[in-house]
Structure 1
Amino acid sequence: MKKYHYSILLVSLVTVGFTACFKGKSKNPLDDGQLHGVAPGGGKSMGKPRGMVYIPPGTFHMGPSDEDINYNYTARNRQVSIAGFWMDATEITNNDYRQFVYWVRDSLAAKELGYYKSSAGATGGDSAIAIDWNKARTIKYDASNLEKLGNKLILAPDNRLYGKPDIDPNKLLYQVETFNLFEAAKRENAGQPRSKFIVRYQVPIYPDTLVWMRDFSYSYNEPMTKRYFAHPAFGNYPVVGVNWKQAVAFCHWRTHIQNAALERKKMAIESDFRLPSEAEWEYAARGGRTNSMYPWGNYYIRNKKGCLLANFKPGRGNYAEDGGFYTVRVDAYWPNDYGLYNMSGNVAEWTNSYFNESAYNFMSDMNPDVRYEAKDSDPPLMRRKVVRGGSWKDVGYFLQTSTRTFEYQDSAKSYIGFRCVIDLAPRMKK
């Protein structure tokens, strides 16, 4: 009896699917004493996610496809299987991330101005669901209106140039609320209240534009600092200056706005957007070419016409030879066989995986992954996250689909971006 009691408590921690079961009809219209089943609440499932491509399930050899020139033995070739998922065809762009920034800005401004739905009460709480978005979208951020927002959102007088009021990027905080399912799934935590596994924290979400100067000593990159995220010419270029925590917050926000739209349309709630595991990333980057060195195959970084196949650091530093001095558009060059652009070069990409040198020796062969939710108080060794793909400033070795490297989760760089994945339910038959 104790075993069944544990199972019921554990399942109750799965929020979306469990809650959706109680939104269906409770009364069976066929009262004939036979088993007919009850469909979950919500209507049909969503279709193809915008800007994403499907990565089919399969098996591949994860790890080096050529000599490990560093001889560091952090990646051993092994066969693993990956379930199907959807992945962004391109890296997240400045325009994509700006939508996130503006949403946070508008929600905070609406809160300061008291733009809540009438049913939410006067206070509205901290939930963005209570905001009257029809009013929030009408807010104009000119000098006269900015003063109405007070010091909670705009620059303090001492931080202004020529006394001009403006939004303070450091005050754009996104509230993340999620369940720690890893802790909830532990046997010793069976029977614990679900409140014990709710995690809430705030993330400053504005990109660090100073990375263009910080990453390169004795180098003139001020124009990129001033224009890269702000100028429309770079709208379809990959967002950079975003650390791992900010990338995760973007995934949470993207899930929130998707689910809000699905609820309005009375459709089934889907899975969460997330960062790919390093195994998923490598599997997708290979594009079905399981033993190839690069997304386009073996063995060269140029095609037969001599054209470079990615944005990286050719030769000994001919940055302009590949057509881009820094980054390039996210849809530049040819996609791999899955339809994914720039899986090698342009910007390296965050994954969801914790970097452990010996991870390949103990990971499962089914959807392998090693995750650790590091705290700010943890030592630097525990804050490392796997980064894949190489970037515009890297040599050709880092373009290989199997090359592993890492960066600290609270560090932002001018050469690291990200893309999202989502696990969608199988299409329901009519």
Structure 2
Amino acid sequence: MKQLSLSIATVAMAMFAASCGQPTSQGQLVGDYSNRMNYKAPTPVGMVFVEAGVLKSGYSDQDIQNSMDAPIRTFNMTGFYMDATEITNAEYRQFTNWVRDSIAHTILGDFKDNDDGTQSIDWANRLKWSDADVQDQLMGMFIDAGQTGTGKKELDVSKLEYFSRKFDLEGSIMNPGQPRTSFEIKKSVKVYPDTTVWLKQFAYSNNEPITRQYNWFPAFDEYPVVGVNWIQANAFCNWRTMLWKGEREKRKLYFEGEFQLPTESQWEWAARGGRQLSPYPWGGPYTMNQKGCYLANFKPDRGDYSADGGLYTVRANAYWPNDYGLYNMSGNVAEWTRSIYVRDAYNVNMLSDMNPDIRARLSETDPAWQRRVVVKGGSWRDPAPYLNVSYRDYEYADTAKAYIGFRCVYEQVYGGITNNNGRASR
């Protein structure tokens, strides 16, 4: 019995050693690096890195509306990636086409089984739109030829809805004890841009030609998408995140961060291009260079939109970028931010001095004043003072305009706080 007990103890010690230590650790604390996926900090296509630093935010020039809603304050900002240009028609079309195709695949039942027991769309099955049987099955996605006014059947773009699911991490942290499922946010968003904004917003103006062509004609592929409201812009960010996440996981690579609209402070920090207290992304105080060439697309003179080279919008990469490599941070189209507009947001007691932001979960039942979102940068239809990077404007979240677009940011925490982006820590 004594010998048997000794054998059992020896086996137990061996099992303990195998479970708690590594063969090469020799009993020392060396860290656990087992089962780690390959990590290489990625640079998303079309984005540039905006370094961490200290932002002197607020009106550094005239407050043209005398709103006194942005006194100068100092904030610490972590770094992030930002799209070098506004999201273009071609880029947004990739989103709407994906939504269109995903609906078609769902109707046709093109699914595959995943290892975790779930199902997903089998994108390997290519859609044969010209096939008569496929057209019959997808008939509900189209408007009948007799109802279009052109004699040809057309895709019913009102059917293009994007369904998203997102976990509200902040809400779950602030409300402990509740089931996690109660913090799952599900949304359905109609994603096709409002192409009629060119007609609806400019009365007694012959804008029918640009209305018919701007969103789809190849010549406008590299122009900024317009007619997209704040809700749709956020849906685009969610889709872009899921697209990126799926590819990273397929390659067994780490996924970090999400594509989002920039906060108001992130936008201003990026727009300044490292030039503290400058009114414009290129510095200032003028909107022309020494050769007399305009530096942005705006309304230089009363009734004269084209003196700067653009009657409406221009290509998203027109004019010179700022020192971070960002194009058209002022002018061309104004841009949605993630931040809710609050007039006294710069109040010392309201905003944190580290990565400030004001967010809210908006609902269609909220009163109008609660659905105001900060818009920055000025546009092709605005005079020069509206191009000031510190100027604050707002628009309602469910409103689309012919002069408002957007761009995304992507944050990698390690690189964002060390300015050592693009390299792994180990």
Q: TM-score, length-normalised on structure 2?
A: 0.88
Q: Which one of 266, 272, 278 corresponds to residue 258 of structure 2?
A: 272
Q: Distance in 2 between matches of 1:409 and 1:366?
A: 26
Matching residue of 2:237:
251
How far 1:32 moved relative to its partner?
A: 4.2
Is the 1:63–1:77 contact (alpha carbons within 8 Å) kept by the matching residues of 2? Answer: yes
Which deviations, in whole Å up to 9, do the C-alpha atoms of 1:148-174 show, x marking residues without a partner?
334542225663345533321010111
Is the 1:41–1:268 contact (alpha carbons within 8 Å) kept by the matching residues of 2? Answer: no
1:320 aligned counterpart, secondary structure: coil
Matching residue of 2:366:
378
Q: Distance in 1 between matches of 2:40 and 2:357?
A: 28
Q: Distance in 1 between matches of 2:317 and 2:335?
A: 15
Residue 169 of structure 2 is aligned to residue 204 of structure 1: no
1:133 aligned counterpart, secondary structure: coil
Matching residue of 1:428:
424
Which deviations, in whole Å up to 9, do the C-alpha atoms of 1:266-299 show, x marking residues without a partner?
0001211000000010010000001101001121
Matching residue of 2:32:
38
Which deviations, in whole Å up to 9, do the C-alpha atoms of 1:296-349 show, x marking residues without a partner?
112100111110000001111211111111000011000001110000000000
Is the 1:45–1:270 contact (alpha carbons within 8 Å) kept by the matching residues of 2? Answer: no
Q: Distance in 1 between matches of 2:249 and 2:243?
A: 10
Is the 2:273–2:323 contact (alpha carbons within 8 Å) kept by the matching residues of 1? Answer: yes
Q: Distance in 2 between matches of 1:38 and 1:350?
A: 43
Q: Distance in 2 between matches of 1:393 and 1:172?
A: 30
Higher deviation after alignment, 159-168 or 305-314 = 159-168
How far 1:42 moved relative to its partner?
A: 2.6
Q: How many residues align?
A: 396
Is the 1:146–1:166 contact (alpha carbons within 8 Å) kept by the matching residues of 2? Answer: no
| Residues 1:364 and 1:132: Cα distance change in structure 2 (over 3 Å) | same
Is the 1:146–1:154 contact (alpha carbons within 8 Å) kept by the matching residues of 2? Answer: no
Higher deviation after alignment, 175-184 or 84-93 = 175-184
Matching residue of 2:109:
114
| Residues 1:84 and 1:282: Cα distance change in structure 2 (over 3 Å) | same
| Residues 1:117 and 1:238: Cα distance change in structure 2 (over 3 Å) | same
2:143 aligned counterpart, secondary structure: coil
How far 1:54 moved relative to its partner?
A: 0.5
Is the 1:391–1:416 contact (alpha carbons within 8 Å) kept by the matching residues of 2? Answer: yes
Task: List aligned pairs for 1:212-361, cutoff 5 A.
Answer: 212-361=198-347
Q: Distance in 1 between matches of 2:130 and 2:287?
A: 49
Q: Distance in 1 between matches of 2:375 and 2:21?
A: 51
Larger Rg: 2
Is the 1:293–1:402 contact (alpha carbons within 8 Å) kept by the matching residues of 2? Answer: yes
Is the 1:310–1:333 contact (alpha carbons within 8 Å) kept by the matching residues of 2? Answer: yes
Which deviations, in whole Å up to 9, do the C-alpha atoms of 1:181-212 show, x marking residues without a partner?
231121xx212111010010100000000001
Cα-Cα RMSD: 2.0
Q: Distance in 2 between matches of 1:340 and 1:267?
A: 28
Q: Distance in 1 between matches of 2:288 and 2:83?
A: 25
Higher deviation after alignment, 66-75 or 362-371 = 66-75
Q: Distance in 2 between matches of 1:212 and 1:201?
A: 28
Residue 393 of structure 2 is aligned to residue 399 of structure 1: no
Q: Distance in 2 between matches of 1:421 and 1:312?
A: 24
Is the 2:145–2:154 contact (alpha carbons within 8 Å) kept by the matching residues of 1? Answer: no
Is the 1:275–1:420 contact (alpha carbons within 8 Å) kept by the matching residues of 2? Answer: yes
| Residues 1:145 and 1:401: Cα distance change in structure 2 (over 3 Å) | farther
Gap runs ≥5 in structure 2: 1-18, 415-422
Q: TM-score, length-normalised on structure 1?
A: 0.88
Q: Distance in 1 between matches of 2:250 and 2:306?
A: 48
2:306 aligned counterpart, secondary structure: helix
| Residues 1:416 and 1:266: Cα distance change in structure 2 (over 3 Å) | same
Gap runs ≥5 in structure 1: 1-25
Is the 2:316–2:327 contact (alpha carbons within 8 Å) kept by the matching residues of 1? Answer: yes
| Residues 1:419 and 1:345: Cα distance change in structure 2 (over 3 Å) | same
Is the 2:377–2:388 contact (alpha carbons within 8 Å) kept by the matching residues of 1? Answer: yes
Q: Distance in 2 between matches of 1:399 and 1:76?
A: 17
Matching residue of 1:51:
46
Q: Which one of 156, 159, 170 corresponds to residue 168 of structure 1?
A: 156
Is the 2:159–2:190 contact (alpha carbons within 8 Å) kept by the matching residues of 1? Answer: yes
Residue 89 of structure 2 is aligned to residue 94 of structure 1: yes
| Residues 1:140 and 1:232: Cα distance change in structure 2 (over 3 Å) | farther
Matching residue of 2:6:
none
Q: Distance in 2 between matches of 1:53 and 1:27?
A: 44
How far 1:120 moved relative to its partner?
A: 8.5
Is the 1:262–1:269 contact (alpha carbons within 8 Å) kept by the matching residues of 2? Answer: yes
Is the 1:45–1:269 contact (alpha carbons within 8 Å) kept by the matching residues of 2? Answer: no
The AA in structure 2 aligned to 1:391 is S
How far 1:223 moved relative to its partner?
A: 1.0
Matching residue of 1:16:
none
Is the 2:144–2:152 contact (alpha carbons within 8 Å) kept by the matching residues of 1? Answer: no
Is the 2:245–2:255 contact (alpha carbons within 8 Å) kept by the matching residues of 1? Answer: yes
Matching residue of 2:127:
139
The AA in structure 2 aligned to 1:333 is Y
1:182 aligned counterpart, secondary structure: helix
Is the 2:83–2:326 contact (alpha carbons within 8 Å) kept by the matching residues of 1? Answer: yes
Residue 396 of structure 2 is aligned to residue 408 of structure 1: yes
Identity level (%): 48
How far 1:118 moved relative to its partner?
A: 4.8
How far 1:79 moved relative to its partner?
A: 1.0
